[in-house]
Amino acid sequence: MSMKKDIGIGILGLGTVGTGIARLLTENADLIARRLGATLTIKRAADLEIEKDRGVVFADGVLTTDPHAVIADPEVDIVLELIGGKELALELIHAAIDQGKHVVTANKAMLAEKGVALFQKAEAANVNIAFEPSVGGCMPIVKTVRESLVGNHIQSICGILNGTCNYILSKITEEGVPFSEALAEAQARGYAEADPGLDVDGYDTAHKLAILSALAYGMEFNFDDIYMEGISGITAMDIDFAAQCGYKIKLLAITKYDRAADSAEVRVHPTMIPDANPLSKVDGTLNAVTITGDAVGDMMLYGHGAGMMPTASAVLSDIVDIGRSILAGGGIHVPLLSYQMENIRRIPVRPIEEVLTHYYFRFSALDRPGVLSKVAGILGEHGISIKSVHQIELQLNGGVPIFMLTHRAREADVRTALSKIAALDVITDEPVLIRIEENQS
Amino acid sequence: MSMKKDIGIGILGLGTVGTGIARLLTENADLIARRLGATLTIKRAADLEIEKDRGVVFADGVLTTDPHAVIADPEVDIVLELIGGKELALELIHAAIDQGKHVVTANKAMLAEKGVALFQKAEAANVNIAFEPSVGGCMPIVKTVRESLVGNHIQSICGILNGTCNYILSKITEEGVPFSEALAEAQARGYAEADPGLDVDGYDTAHKLAILSALAYGMEFNFDDIYMEGISGITAMDIDFAAQCGYKIKLLAITKYDRAADSAEVRVHPTMIPDANPLSKVDGTLNAVTITGDAVGDMMLYGHGAGMMPTASAVLSDIVDIGRSILAGGGIHVPLLSYQMENIRRIPVRPIEEVLTHYYFRFSALDRPGVLSKVAGILGEHGISIKSVHQIELQLNGGVPIFMLTHRAREADVRTALSKIAALDVITDEPVLIRIEENQS
């Protein structure tokens, strides 16, 4: 046992999360020390802007504009990488590992794209890279997958991982406003960036899903293999039609692993889920993840997926985990990617065209007899079996809307059929397709 | 680093959970070894009945009827105490600690009543006592409180922790059957014991709440200080009236800590919660816990709170945690009671009479003018402010039901007022009282 009773923290980036962790380390210092059995002290903190009042008092000499000064400080044991972005963050984490420093990062984009190589380097150097705050804010999703579910073959992960998208979809659902108006409201409230693409196009969700999939399956994979579709095409009408059939529409991150075939589905898209699925009740900026394991069945975590203090809480849990390893004189307590690194492998990702799922379609058609028979005929030719059809008395782009739910079908067949249907002269607008998850997970 | 690559497991008790963990260790052995970096081998397993076919193959010489033979086996590193009960279990855990063995236990009653002394002894001996399976089945609630929320002052814990009670209340809610019929159905399905008192009277929930409270607050306390009320008095009528006002009735375990006063409320009773509270959607045998922390806000865990494989999964996560400490050559990685043992203290528990909360009352009264004025008068004299009153056109025990919801009131005042109201000659039956949690937590 080491006799070390003070652990030095170095912070890179005093944005929202960096400021939050500085506050938490200050305000709850006594509590944390009583739980950990050692104090945590911010030795250095770097930001381009060090004159600004962040409501936190730093000791003299702590603040610097030079991130390398933080990493090089001999009193810093754990480096918090909270600057975001990819290149500088990656360079700084490499530098920290080179100097034998443990790292906590919230940088999901960097981890999703460069994580496995970083983890290999860290393991070789016997330093920890912790990343609980990178997915799901305060929800202990990384810890749950790596530690609590260690005895389970994980069958699927299904989550609402982006609070901005969930807020927008909840707003459209509750108020029937168009996407653009819901987005503007999210921006006005500070939930969405001026450039909202990372959120609404699904990138942020996909980055988080990449990390969870890697954890669940000890999986290295190509980020580009994740199928991704954003929420900008979702209309109040589709949400309303879904509700008539007992479904909600959520942007879901879905990973499913087929053990027999040794292949995975890894996809992010707007998804209709039944009202009985607990994820359907997760509204506003909240996040939730359902995980299905062979032993546990379905379980769910639910909480604030972003925000200053919830994310800081997750950073702190990583700091204390590493602190406990430091106090025990050790390095890495839990394998970085849930599996021992020599067991990491590349699992084939099934192309979206080969995915089998249920579908919602909406067509705009001329209001004349025989349309349904033509549409149904094309679907039937491609092996797509209709579960229910609903024709709505409503004018829409020179047509009337028809929506339908299908039984399980193959995406490639669906795409071919929809393109044939779109070409019919009785169809007045592009067909809409939304995938359905009939089961909870 | 130790070079140990096989960790020996000893099982005490091959009931449901013991059989489940034996199955999991066998069926998922490869997966677990790849994650842990070592194998887990069942070296000895004790049960009174060793001839029975449990669908698991044990190696020759593993089974014994003598639990002490398991503990004494030099190849056993971790002892799983899965026999339940209090005295023998306690004796065996003491024996295991004396021999330097780590322990995993699912024994909530024993931990709730004797835990702190055991933890002190284990800490002194540098052996681990892990108990994730004791609360919430597969939900990682112990890990979440001890590790993930380590930076948070925990403000409250509010949970549905007994699947039997939740099943019974869900059944009454959905089908309007009496308690006795719902209980009989729970027994027929194997969810409730022949003697259902431990479940329906709230003891099981209170034991779990005792453990969670101890974890959250580093708290040693008298189990008898927990206020406890079971569900046998809950009727379909009260559930229906609650629903008319937008509430569900659940058996909740509630701990709230008042930092300013340094006192805690620790109570188990049927509780009305608004439909907007996510706990209101947790039906059937499922469990869920909402935890509110100063940094994370509200978060929730949800999953199977009992059952062979979900509980075995929790046992396994504890085994692997301890296994990782063994591989690292160390003893206790995370303090046993979330706080360093020298910081454990006794927090005063507020008597139920001093609790302030909202209430639902139901009275049976003669159907004549002036009754409400008498009832309201008595409530007013005791400072109890009525939020709404509902008189129902329905005959009941020679009277008609009146139900009402109150603003926040003090339990002692409520009790005094209700006893005065019960004595009125226009009141035909004992008043019914159900506490309400207006907020999520």
Q: What is the pLDDT of residues A75-111, one digit of tens each?
A: 999 999 999 888 999 999 999 999 999 999 999 999 9
A18 neighbors A80 (Cβ within 8 angstroms): yes
**Within the 291-320 window of chain A, which residues sit less than 8 Å (CB to CB) from chain B?**
293-304, 307, 309-310, 312-314, 316-317, 320
pLDDT for residue B4 = 66
Smallest CA–CA distance, residue A147 to chain B, in Å, is 6
Asked if the B6-138+308-343 domain carries CATH number 3.40.50.720, the reply is yes
pLDDT for residue A372 = 92
The whole-angstrom separation of Cα B207 and Cα B214 is 11
Q: Which of A64, A73, A87 is nearest to A13 (CA)?
A: A64
User: Which one is predicted more confidently, A72 or B439?
Assistant: A72
Mean pLDDT computed over A412-423: 98
Q: Contacts of residue A340 in chain B, CB cutoff 8 Å?
A: 34-37
Cα three-residue angle A320-B253-A307, rounded to 5 degrees: 40
Smallest CA–CA distance, residue A202 to chain B, in Å, is 24
Question: Between the CA of residue A198 and those of A65, A108, A205, B43, what are the distances in Å?
Answer: 28, 12, 9, 52
B433 neighbors B363 (Cβ within 8 angstroms): no
Classify domain A141-304 at the CATH class level. alpha beta
**Within the 180-209 window of chain B, which residues sit less than 8 Å (CB to CB) from chain A?**
none
Residues above pLDDT 70, as percent of chain B: 98
- Verify whether the Cβ–Cβ distance B218 to A34 is below 8 Å: yes
Q: Contacts of residue B345 in chain A, CB cutoff 8 Å?
A: none
Residues above pLDDT 90, as percent of chain A: 85
The chain-wide mean pLDDT, for chain A, equals 94
| Largest Cα span, chain B | 84
Q: Does A327 touch chain B (CB under 8 A)?
A: no
- Which of these CATH numbers, 3.40.50.720, 3.30.530.20, 3.40.50.970, 3.30.70.260, describes B353-436? 3.30.70.260
Cβ-Cβ contacts under 8 Å between A and B: the total is 200
pLDDT for residue B2 = 46
| Largest Cα span, chain A | 84
A383: left (phi over 0), alpha (psi -120 to 50) or beta: left
Q: How many residues does chain A have?
A: 441
A46 pLDDT higher than 50: yes
The chain-wide mean pLDDT, for chain B, equals 94
A355 pLDDT higher than 80: yes
pLDDT in tens, B128-164: 999 999 999 999 999 999 999 999 999 999 999 999 9
pLDDT for residue B325 = 92
pLDDT in tens, A333-346: 898 888 888 888 88
Smallest CA–CA distance, residue A361 to chain B, in Å, is 30
A364 pLDDT higher than 80: yes
pLDDT in tens, A232-259: 999 999 999 999 999 999 999 999 999 9
pLDDT for residue A329 = 84
Smallest CA–CA distance, residue A312 to chain B, in Å, is 8
Range of weakest confidence among A2-11, A206-215, A377-386: A2-11
pLDDT for residue B195 = 85
B292 pLDDT higher than 60: yes
Residue A438, CB-side half-sphere exposure with 13 Å CA sphere: 11
Q: Which residue in B313, B321, B326, B340 has the most chain A C-beta atoms within 10 A of its own C-beta, making it the best mutation to test that interface?
A: B313
User: Could you write out the DSSP letters of every residue in B93-147?
Assistant: HHHHHHTT-EEEE--HHHHHHHHHHHHHHHHHHT--EE-GGGSSTTS-HHHIIII
A182 pLDDT higher than 80: yes
**Same-fold call for B6-138+308-343 versus B353-436:** no
- pTM for this one? 0.95
Q: Which residue in B104, B138, B262, B290 has the most chain A C-beta atoms within 10 A of its own C-beta, making it the best mutation to test that interface?
A: B138
Mean pLDDT computed over A296-308: 95
pLDDT in tens, B382-415: 999 999 999 888 776 678 999 999 999 999 999 9
Burial of residue A23, with CB atoms counted within 10 A of its CB: 0-12 exposed, 13-18 middle, 19 or more buried: middle
Residue A425 pLDDT level (bands cut at 50, 70, 90):
very high
Q: Contacts of residue A303 in chain B, CB cutoff 8 Å?
A: 296-300
Residue A272, CB-side half-sphere exposure with 13 Å CA sphere: 26
Residues above pLDDT 70, as percent of chain A: 98
pLDDT for residue A441 = 38
- CB-nearest to A340 from B34, B153, B330 is B34
Q: What is the DSSP letter of B348?
A: P
CA A66 to chain centre: 31
pLDDT in tens, A389-402: 998 887 776 789 99
Q: Does A141 touch chain B (CB under 8 A)?
A: no
- Verify whether the Cβ–Cβ distance B218 to A312 is below 8 Å: no
Among this protein's residues, is A4 annotated catalytic?
Answer: no
Mean pLDDT computed over B26-53: 96
Range of weakest confidence among A189-193, A346-350, B265-269, B272-276: A189-193
